[in-house]
Chains A and B, each alone.
Chain A
Amino acid sequence: MSERLDPTEEARRLYEDAEKRTATAMEELVKRDAFGELLARATENILALTRMGIDVTDLVVRNLRLAGRRDVTSLGRQLARTEDKLERVLQEVERLQEQFAEAERSSASNGTTRRRTTKPKPAASK
């Protein structure tokens, strides 16, 4: 004789089973070519609308003589470029420091001493 299940448990089991089947079906659906195509087209449409919105907003903001997102981005980009250059200069300075330290170490180990060879500054012509 089969054991009788609690109706609540049975309902829950049926629901979870249905959910699992739906999940599998949806996963199959998103794998289909047609879904991929739909996604690509929908993305393109949304982006085209977004671009129109951005362009219109930017036009309004610029005509009000206010700094728009594009202007702020441009400033940010200039800062980023400056930081790129600074980073490279810093690296170069560090490399030279290391070279200098290395040269000092090798000259110290050879028993020689470095002599300052700074020449006096020529007098400025008037």
Chain B
Amino acid sequence: MNPVEQLIRAPVAAVEFANLLLTRDDAEIGMTPKDVVWTHRKTTLYRYRSNDRTHALPVLLVFALINRPEIFDLRPGNSFVEFLLAEGFDVFLLDWGVPGDEDADMGIDNYVCDELPWAMRETLRASGQEELSLLGWCIGGSLVAMHAALEPGGPARNLVLLTTPVDTSGSLYSNWVARDSFDPEFVAEVLPSVPGAGIDWANKMMKPVTNFWTTNRVLWQNVLKGEAKREAYQSMARWVADNPPFPGRAYRQWITWMYKENRLVTGGLRLRGRRVDLRRIEQNTLVVTAGADHIAPRAGTLPLLDMVASEDVTHLDRPGGHIGLMAGSRAREGIWPDIAEWLEERSGA
């Protein structure tokens, strides 16, 4: 397109560009039909509808405390949940909900020792099985790993840990929040629920030009060329912008334990008096890392492979970022079939 053509098209493109941004929240995400199985406080357990469940073991999806779990089911045609259902899995989703100030007392121990095992129990009851597979992503992966370390003889047969932070030493987050001048106690004291927008801003500041400028510039160019993919852009943009607050106590614990003291690796993490020792994990474990992940860098996940006691440990490393790995346009061919295959081999009755 020559400069004159660009100039002629610019006003129309500007309207379309603005429309894409302004109607972002109308994008439909998390549309696969599901039923509520169990709720407790803000946590909800869903079961996706299916009439083609061929694998005995149910799969429980666990996402991070920041952002919403709809990323597992972004949009029709690009949904990991849809893919798992088509592969014959019985899929459950654990949604932590949107905590408010009244949930400031929720800590990592509540999520690992109460919400997660309770959701697992309800998953087993609903599916009529005695074992299940846990799939955790990002902080969700860390919570799953902590639980597995506390309950090696529990009902989880398989663990799938996607871009999971384990060893935070040397990471950029660590450089920001592990310093003495950053006081998570003060943050949690002033903000009983730490605004998700603040955490999202910090995430974006890790790659400021790319996140604040290049994304919009590329979108503008695509609109100008008439190549913008409305549904793909809006669904992802809506998910990215939906940032629930982080309960104050959980935030304080997460920053202190994971970044200031790196307890998951040093073995100093205790939940309700019980030591969380990743060396006690005995379940079949699949660890997935992303080469270009700057939020949970690959190097921070790899120590897990040497720590766990499992005899069946698989590592998959793929190109892509923290989220793009699982929700990008190449995920359907690049990683989902490998995860499904790994689960399928270990999901027999």
Contacts and interface: CB of A to CB of B under 8 A. Distances in A.
The majority secondary structure among interface residues of chain A is helix
Given A19-B209, A47-B186, A37 B102 contact: no
B213 A19 contact: yes
A26 B208 contact: yes
B217 A41 contact: no
A40 interface: yes
Interface stretch (A59-67, A77-85, A101-109, A114-122): A77-85
A40 B176 contact: yes
Interface in A89-126: 91
B175 A36 contact: yes
A86 to B, nearest CB: 9
A8 B101 CA distance: 54
B191 A50 contact: yes
Interface in A11-38: 19, 22-23, 26-27, 30-31, 33, 36-37
Interface stretch (B69-77, B136-144, B177-185, B332-340): B177-185
A87 interface: yes
B28 interface: no
Interface string A33-58: 10011011101100110110010000
Contacts of A75: 102
Interface string B35-79: 000001100000000000000000000000000000000000000
The majority secondary structure among interface residues of chain B is helix
Given A8-B2, A31-B172, A69-B101, A19 B186 contact: no
Contacts of B101: 69, 73, 76
A8 B190 contact: no
Given A31-B175, A44-B181, A47-B187, A73 B41 contact: no
Interface residues of A, number: 33
B104 to A, nearest CB: 8
B207 A50 contact: no
Interface in B160-193: 172, 175-177, 179, 181-183, 186-187, 190-192
B100 A76 contact: yes
A23 B212 CA distance: 10
A80 B193 CA distance: 15
B175 A33 contact: yes
B179 A44 contact: no
Given A43-B187, A50-B190, A80 B103 contact: yes
A27 B207 contact: yes
B175 A43 contact: no
A35 B78 CA distance: 38
Interface in B192-225: 192, 202, 205-210, 213-214, 217
B206 A44 contact: no
Contact of A47 (B190, B202, B207, B217): B190
B179 A40 contact: yes
B217 A37 contact: no
21 contacts: A19-B213, A23-B209, A23-B214, A30-B205, A31-B172, A37-B179, A39-B202, A40-B179, A40-B181, A40-B182, A44-B186, A47-B190, A51-B190, A54-B190, A75-B102, A77-B104, A77-B105, A80-B41, A80-B105, A83-B40, A87-B118
Closest 10 CB pairs of A and B: A76-B102, A23-B209, A40-B182, A73-B101, A40-B181, A77-B102, A47-B190, A51-B190, A36-B176, A26-B208
